[in-house]
A and B are shown apart, each in its own frame.
Chain A
Amino acid sequence: MKHKILIVDDEPNIVMSLEYAFKKQDFEVFIARDGSEALEILKEQTPDIVLLDIMMPNVDGYQTLKHINNTSGLEASKVVFLTAKNKASDIEKGLKLGADKYVTKPFSVKKLVSEIMELLT
């Protein structure tokens, strides 16, 4: 069965690169431009991985994560923060909220993909 990944980011250029990279690894890719779109998608889909930007309009990454934590059926979904916020306090905050991984921008696509694969096994 294909792994499902939800990419949530408001930068189209970044999204495009990620979409290409994961499709190549045979992921089923869903894309949301902000938190609210992500929540819509999560109503119907149960992705294995959610790649989550933090600073987004309307519903931000933190709120989205909280929602995922509080929604039954999404317990198995792993959340990876993908953000430019790289202060130690930010990272701590993200992990405390229950993220499985915290990746800071700019990042290596190759490395990100292999880390995600590791997370799934």
Chain B
Amino acid sequence: MSNYALIVIIVVYLSVLFYIAFFAEKKRQSKWVNNPYVYTLSLAVYCSAWTYYGSIGIAANSGINFLTIYLGPVIAAPLWIVLLRKIIRISKQHKISSIADFISLRYGNHRFLGALVTLICLFGTLPYISLQLKAVSETFEIMADETSYTSTYVIDDSTFYVALLLAVFATFFGTQNTDASEKHKGIIATVAFESVLKLLFFLIIGVYITFYLFDGTTDIYNQISTSANFKELTTVNGLEGGFNWFFTTALSFIAIFLLPRQFQVSVLENNREKHLKKAIWLFPLYLLLFNVFVIFIAWAGKLTFDASVNAEYYTLLLPLKNGNSFLATLVFLGGFSAVISMVVVSTLALSTMVSNNLIIPYGFLDKFIKNLPERNSKYIKTIRRISIFTIIIAAYFFYVSFSKELSLYSIGLISFVIISQLAPSFFIGLYWNRGSSKAAIIGMVAGLAVTIYTLVVPFILKAYTGTDDFVQYGLFNISSLKPYALFGIDFLSPPMHAFFWSMSINGLCYLTFSLTSKGNYRERNYAEMFVDSKNFTTLQDSALVWKGEAYVADIKNVLIRFLGEYRANRALKIFFTKYKLSPDTQLADARLINFSEKLLTGSIGSASAKILIASVVKEEQISLVEVLKILEESKETIVSNKVLIEKSEELSQLTSKLKDANDELITKDKQKDDFLDTVAHELKTPITGIRAATELLMDDDDDMPNDIKNQFLTNILQDSDRLGRLINNILDFEKLETGRLNLTISQLDIQQTIKKAVASTQHIAAKKGIQINVKNVHRFKIKYDEDRILQVLYNLLSNAIKFCEPETGTIEIDYKLGSTVLEISVSDNGKGIPPEDIDYIFDKFYQSQHQNTIKPEGSGLGLAITKQIIEKHNGKIWADKARKKGAKLVFTLPFN
């Protein structure tokens, strides 16, 4: 097949992937993207080119050892329900974006630890990625039928362009969000799709080779069983082989959790915990299917080709040898898809770590603190994109310079061993809260050093010097320091030997230092949260997730700023007494910080309290995650403050309404009191008169002159009448006000009624020398209750008489017809109504509120009763405000 045809196939395939990713991003909420099958298939990113090609190489050369790499995950799968679920929960709760984040957070958000984990992951994954590129390159060569061709220039090498394309893909779908804990649905969808493809194509080629090229499994078995090393290939090879089996299985058990790409798909991209339930049986099944034909393909290859052919590519070579280039292309695409998934997910995971745990905290943090949030997110994305490209290109150059010497299998194992250095602090730290950051760092560094000595150095030395001296004789010719046989342990394969020693030393360091050194409060807080993840929500509420140390004096200053000197001092005193601390304590501990935060929360809210307290702890120790968290939280605070302001405005409006209503109630209540007071007062006055006069008459020893006696009797009579009137008025008023008064309506002549009213007041007016004139003399018939209207007119007239000057006073009664009402007015030339009172004169006992200046000369109920009567007639009554001289009171009676 030609180079160009292959490139076209690759480009078409990549565009299909682009389309799938694009579609999945667009339908983020769709069932197609969010289901347990997609989740399980995405886990199959575990099966990289190593599985696709490498397994067959091992099966051909060293027998069934290839299975160990899948045994670990199969053993791990049932544990996921407990272990992985816990990890997922913690990660979701803390918005964890990578395994470096996870481990550093467990140890109190330790910046250096995060960076160290990142470096280990980079170190472990870069060769692994380059091994994938190697697979692409070599299969490309086989397919393009240019077996002898090796590019000398990067520009000529198609692998380089493939690498670039992968970088573009990872960048495009991997960095759409600043928040790296966001799900990458597009990438996950393509990974799931490719997992189907690679399995399908692998099964097809397996069936083709086993049943088409050969006569089924028995045929292959029978043929191979005659070969020389058959027993070696099909058994575990004694105790030593058993150790190798055991360690490789353990290694792959660790890898399924800790490989950055596995952590990415199984933890970070998990959107429902229940998907795990399907994954625990479906994923092992997937692995089983993948391995069904491995051994037969390997044997078939061995039977077909001689030893000089690279066994890893039997799947390609067998169909090609038989002229089936279509099947070969399928196999090539399957392998290619395994590569893409692995490279894209790995670089995505690594770039997040590199940006969040390496570059930003060590170079850009100051800048981020000063910048606007929008600019920050742009920066972060740019850093991740550059990281993706750098990682892939670095992997490419690693491939160019090293990996041509090594098999897929060996590089894969080296990667696993390096990554496994995270295991003690990861797994033990999940269940043991004593594990400290110091111990984690020492363990990792020691384990890594051992790995480098026993695995990496020999590999590099061999690559450069081409000799085996170092391996043969050890460092300084000390035999117990032989890199492949430290302290005489020489029965393990080099990777397993490295794994054994590094893990022993790493774990030992971790346990020892954890027991001897205690982490600071931050670490212990997080340790509690991780270990006791069921209660960690409450723990998180009470724990102070802040970095660095703070001085009591600084915290006190902050407290004073918000609580005042007195309260701050008192609070601190209480705190010190409660925890039996010396008042001279200089360094604040978690409890004090927690306590202060709670104190401040009361006045300024929790987010601001955190920021404030943060301002007095050592700033350099704040990690990016926290800074972003603060930015995010303060944004939320601003939003919620806005809501709060709105709410409080609403509230104060409500309050003022309530206050008004309350005032009204109080006024009403006071009015009621006043009413009763006034009634009592009004009743007491005539009673006092009656009592005094009666007493004097009774005690009279016959020297009281007769005219005085008569006058007293007259007074008694007057006061009794007054009392009677008052009581009637009160009863009237009460009846009117409660609406129990019924009018006796009849068709009457208003002129007649007015005449009657004038007649009944004439004598009082005459006494004061006041004139009453009726201006209108036309008869007019209208419906009303005559007694009540007479009462109204009588009240108005007597009021007018009251306020008129004697002798000069004149009163006029007039009426005119409106369109729907009859308007009757009573006006006088008296002192008039003060403008400030004009609105209140119809209130009951209005006068009583102005008793200091105006002595009530009636019951104080007259106008109130008048108003009630008019309103009962559906009329209106008012005082004419325009009148300058004297008062004019007007009322209306509707025609109907």
Is A bound to B?
A: yes
User: Among the listed B693, B695, B851, B853, which residue makes an inter-chain contact with A13, where contact means beta carbons less than 8 Å apart?
Assistant: B693
A-B CB pair tally, cutoff 8 Å: 71
- Over the window 829-870 of chain B, the binary record of Cβ atoms lying under 8 Å from chain A Cβ atoms (1 yes, 0 no) is 000000000000000000000011111000000000000000
- A16 to B691: give the CA distance in the assembly, Å: 12
Interface residue A28 (Cβ < 8 Å from any Cβ of B)? no
Interface residue B177 (Cβ < 8 Å from any Cβ of A)? no
Q: Pick the most buried of B680, B687, B689, B853: most chain A CB atoms within 10 A of its CB.
A: B689
A and B contact pairs by CB, cutoff 8 A, 15 listed: A13-B692, A13-B715, A14-B689, A17-B693, A17-B715, A18-B692, A20-B704, A34-B855, A55-B851, A57-B853, A57-B854, A60-B851, A106-B684, A107-B691, A109-B692
Would A14 and B681 be within 8 Å (CB), given that A57-B853, A57-B854 are in contact?
A: no
- A16 to B686: give the CA distance in the assembly, Å: 13
A106 touches B687 (CB 8 A): yes
Neighbouring B residues of A13 by C-beta, 8 Å: 686, 689, 692-693, 715, 718-719
Q: Pick the most buried of A18, A60, A105, A107: most chain B CB atoms within 10 A of its CB.
A: A105
B855 touches A55 (CB 8 A): yes
- A105 to B699: give the CA distance in the assembly, Å: 19
A16 touches B715 (CB 8 A): yes
Interface residue B237 (Cβ < 8 Å from any Cβ of A)? no
Please list the residues of chain B having a beta carbon within 8 angstroms of any beta carbon in chain A. 677, 680-681, 684-689, 691-693, 695-696, 699, 704, 708, 711-712, 715, 718-719, 851-855
Neighbouring A residues of B704 by C-beta, 8 Å: 20
Closest A residue to B716 by beta carbon equals A13
A interface, over-half SS:
loop
B854 touches A84 (CB 8 A): no
B852 touches A14 (CB 8 A): no
Tell me the chain A residues, 37-53 only, with Cβ under 8 Å from chain B.
none
A34 to chain B, nearest CB (A): 8
Closest A residue to B704 by beta carbon equals A20
Neighbouring A residues of B693 by C-beta, 8 Å: 13, 16-17
- Starting from the known contacts A11-B688, A16-B693, 13 additional A-B residue pairs (CB-CB under 8 Å) come to A14-B689, A17-B692, A17-B715, A20-B712, A55-B851, A60-B851, A84-B684, A87-B677, A106-B691, A106-B692, A107-B692, A108-B695, A109-B696
- A14 to B696: give the CA distance in the assembly, Å: 11
- Over the window 15-36 of chain A, the binary record of Cβ atoms lying under 8 Å from chain B Cβ atoms (1 yes, 0 no) is 0111011000000000000100
Closest B residue to A11 by beta carbon equals B685
B712 touches A16 (CB 8 A): yes
User: Among the listed B680, B699, B715, which residue makes an inter-chain contact with A84, where contact means beta carbons less than 8 Å apart?
Assistant: B680
Would A105 and B684 be within 8 Å (CB), given that A11-B689, A110-B699 are in contact?
A: yes
Would A14 and B692 be within 8 Å (CB), given that A55-B855, A60-B852 are in contact?
A: yes
B638 to chain A, nearest CB (A): 54
Interface residue A100 (Cβ < 8 Å from any Cβ of B)? no
Interface residue A85 (Cβ < 8 Å from any Cβ of B)? yes
- A105 to B727: give the CA distance in the assembly, Å: 19
Would A57 and B855 be within 8 Å (CB), given that A16-B715, A107-B688 are in contact?
A: yes
A58 touches B853 (CB 8 A): yes
- A58 to B853: give the CA distance in the assembly, Å: 5
Would A21 and B684 be within 8 Å (CB), given that A10-B855, A16-B715, A55-B851 are in contact?
A: no
Interface residue A56 (Cβ < 8 Å from any Cβ of B)? yes
- A110 to B697: give the CA distance in the assembly, Å: 12
- A16 to B851: give the CA distance in the assembly, Å: 23
Tell me the chain A residues, 61-101 only, with Cβ under 8 Å from chain B.
84-85, 87
B530 to chain A, nearest CB (A): 70
- A10 to B699: give the CA distance in the assembly, Å: 25
B855 touches A14 (CB 8 A): no
User: Among the listed A16, A18, A85, A109, which residue makes an inter-chain contact with B681, where contact means beta carbons less than 8 Å apart?
Assistant: A85
Neighbouring A residues of B691 by C-beta, 8 Å: 106-108
B400 to chain A, nearest CB (A): 104
Q: Pick the most buried of A17, A21, A57: most chain B CB atoms within 10 A of its CB.
A: A17
Q: Pick the most buried of A10, A14, A21: most chain B CB atoms within 10 A of its CB.
A: A14
B853 touches A20 (CB 8 A): no
- A108 to B691: give the CA distance in the assembly, Å: 7
Neighbouring B residues of A60 by C-beta, 8 Å: 851-852
User: Among the listed A11, A17, A58, A106, which residue makes an inter-chain contact with B696, where contact means beta carbons less than 8 Å apart?
Assistant: A17
- A55 to B857: give the CA distance in the assembly, Å: 12
Would A106 and B852 be within 8 Å (CB), given that A16-B712, A20-B696 are in contact?
A: no
B708 touches A20 (CB 8 A): yes
- A109 to B691: give the CA distance in the assembly, Å: 9
- A18 to B853: give the CA distance in the assembly, Å: 24
Top 6 A-B pairs, shortest CB-CB distance: A17-B692, A13-B689, A57-B855, A106-B688, A84-B684, A105-B688
B688 touches A16 (CB 8 A): no
Q: Pick the most buried of A13, A17, A18, A57: most chain B CB atoms within 10 A of its CB.
A: A13
B689 touches A55 (CB 8 A): no
Closest A residue to B683 by beta carbon equals A84
Q: Pick the most buried of B684, B711, B718: most chain A CB atoms within 10 A of its CB.
A: B684
- A20 to B704: give the CA distance in the assembly, Å: 9
Neighbouring B residues of A56 by C-beta, 8 Å: 855
Neighbouring B residues of A21 by C-beta, 8 Å: 692, 696
B696 touches A105 (CB 8 A): no
B725 to chain A, nearest CB (A): 15
- A84 to B305: give the CA distance in the assembly, Å: 131
B444 to chain A, nearest CB (A): 84
Neighbouring A residues of B855 by C-beta, 8 Å: 10, 34, 55-57
Neighbouring A residues of B692 by C-beta, 8 Å: 13-14, 17-18, 21, 106-107, 109
- A13 to B717: give the CA distance in the assembly, Å: 11
B713 to chain A, nearest CB (A): 11
Closest B residue to A10 by beta carbon equals B855
A82 to chain B, nearest CB (A): 9
B277 to chain A, nearest CB (A): 79
Neighbouring B residues of A105 by C-beta, 8 Å: 684-685, 687-688
- A21 to B681: give the CA distance in the assembly, Å: 23
B622 to chain A, nearest CB (A): 66
User: Among the listed B680, B687, B689, B854, which residue makes an inter-chain contact with A17, where contact means beta carbons less than 8 Å apart?
Assistant: B689
Neighbouring A residues of B708 by C-beta, 8 Å: 20
A84 touches B712 (CB 8 A): no
Neighbouring B residues of A107 by C-beta, 8 Å: 688, 691-692
- A91 to B73: give the CA distance in the assembly, Å: 97
Neighbouring B residues of A14 by C-beta, 8 Å: 685, 688-689, 692
- A13 to B684: give the CA distance in the assembly, Å: 13
A84 touches B853 (CB 8 A): no
- A20 to B708: give the CA distance in the assembly, Å: 9
Neighbouring A residues of B677 by C-beta, 8 Å: 87
- A109 to B712: give the CA distance in the assembly, Å: 14
- A21 to B711: give the CA distance in the assembly, Å: 14
A17 touches B853 (CB 8 A): no
B695 touches A109 (CB 8 A): yes
- A10 to B854: give the CA distance in the assembly, Å: 12
Would A84 and B719 be within 8 Å (CB), given that A105-B688, A110-B699 are in contact?
A: no
Closest A residue to B715 by beta carbon equals A13
Closest B residue to A61 by beta carbon equals B852
- A11 to B686: give the CA distance in the assembly, Å: 9
- A11 to B687: give the CA distance in the assembly, Å: 12
- A114 to B7: give the CA distance in the assembly, Å: 132
A16 touches B680 (CB 8 A): no
Closest B residue to A57 by beta carbon equals B855
Neighbouring B residues of A10 by C-beta, 8 Å: 855
Neighbouring B residues of A17 by C-beta, 8 Å: 689, 692-693, 695-696, 712, 715
Closest A residue to B680 by beta carbon equals A84
Neighbouring A residues of B719 by C-beta, 8 Å: 13
B17 to chain A, nearest CB (A): 91
Closest B residue to A62 by beta carbon equals B852
- A56 to B685: give the CA distance in the assembly, Å: 12
Neighbouring A residues of B718 by C-beta, 8 Å: 13
Closest A residue to B682 by beta carbon equals A84
- A55 to B853: give the CA distance in the assembly, Å: 9
Closest A residue to B711 by beta carbon equals A16
B341 to chain A, nearest CB (A): 91
Neighbouring A residues of B699 by C-beta, 8 Å: 110
